[in-house]
Amino acid sequence: MKKIDTLRFDSKVIHAGQSPEDWQGATLPPIYQSASHSHPTAENLSATFSGKTTDHIYMRLTNPTNRALEEKLAALENGRGAVFMSSGMAAITNACMALLRSGDEFVCGNSLFMSTYLLFKNVFGKYNITPRMVESTDMAALEAAINDKTRFVYLEVIGNPKMDIPDLRKASAIAHRHGLPLLVDNTLASPYLCRPIELGADVVIHSTTKYLSGHGDATGGVVIDGGKFDWQQGRFPDMQPFVDRKGPLAYLDRVWREHHINYGTTAAPLHAYLTMVGLDTLALRMERHMANTLKVAEFLRYRPEVTWVNYAGLASHPGNRTAREQFGEKGFGGLLAFGLKDQETCFRFINRLQMIYHLANLGDCKSLVIHPYSSQYVSFPEETRAALSITPDLIRLSVGIEAAADIIADLSQALDGLR
H helices present in 155-303, as ranges: 168-177, 190-193, 240-246, 250-254, 261-263, 269-279, 282-301
Contacting ligand PLP within 324-353 (CB under 6 A): none
C-beta of 186 vs 292, nearer to ligand PLP = 186
Only one of the segments 185-193, 242-250, 297-305, 326-334 lies at the binding site for ligand PLP (rule: CB under 6 A); that segment is: 185-193
**Applying CB under 6 A, does 221 fall inside the site for ligand PLP?**
yes
**Applying CB under 6 A, does 110 fall inside the site for ligand PLP?**
no
Residue 74: HSE in the Cβ half-sphere, 13 Å Cα cutoff? 20
Instruction: List, in sequence order, every residue forming a beta bridge with 203; answer none if it has no partner.
Output: 183, 225
**Applying CB under 6 A, does 73 fall inside the site for ligand PLP?**
no
Dihedral sign (CA 401, 361, 165, 184): negative
According to DSSP, residue 280 is labeled T
**Applying CB under 6 A, does 168 fall inside the site for ligand PLP?**
no
CA distance 162 to 46: 51
Only one of the segments 202-210, 274-282, 310-318, 381-389 lies at the binding site for ligand PLP (rule: CB under 6 A); that segment is: 202-210
Task: Find all residues with CB under 8 Å of 382, minimum gap 6, and list them.
Answer: none
Distances (CA, A) of 311 to 318, 365, 375: 10, 19, 21
CA distance 302 to 306: 8
C-beta of 63 vs 190, nearer to ligand PLP = 190
Only one of the segments 31-39, 82-90, 135-143, 297-305 lies at the binding site for ligand PLP (rule: CB under 6 A); that segment is: 82-90
State which of residues 77, 105, 156, 410 lies at the interface with ligand PLP (CB under 6 A). Answer: 156
CA distance 362 to 90: 18
Q: How far is the CB of 194 from ligand PLP (least distance, A)?
A: 13
> Closest residue to ligand PLP, Cβ-based?
88
Would you give the binding string for ligand PLP spanning residues 352-371, x where CB under 6 A is met? ----------x---------
State which of residues 18, 150, 190, 207 lies at the interface with ligand PLP (CB under 6 A). Answer: 207
Angle CA(71)–CA(81)–CA(150) in degrees, nearest 5?
A: 145
**Applying CB under 6 A, does 87 fall inside the site for ligand PLP?**
yes
**Applying CB under 6 A, does 95 fall inside the site for ligand PLP?**
no
Residues comprising the chain, all counted:
419
**Applying CB under 6 A, does 268 fall inside the site for ligand PLP?**
no
Site residues for ligand PLP per CB under 6 A: 87-89, 113, 115-116, 156, 160, 185, 187-188, 207, 209-210, 219, 221, 362
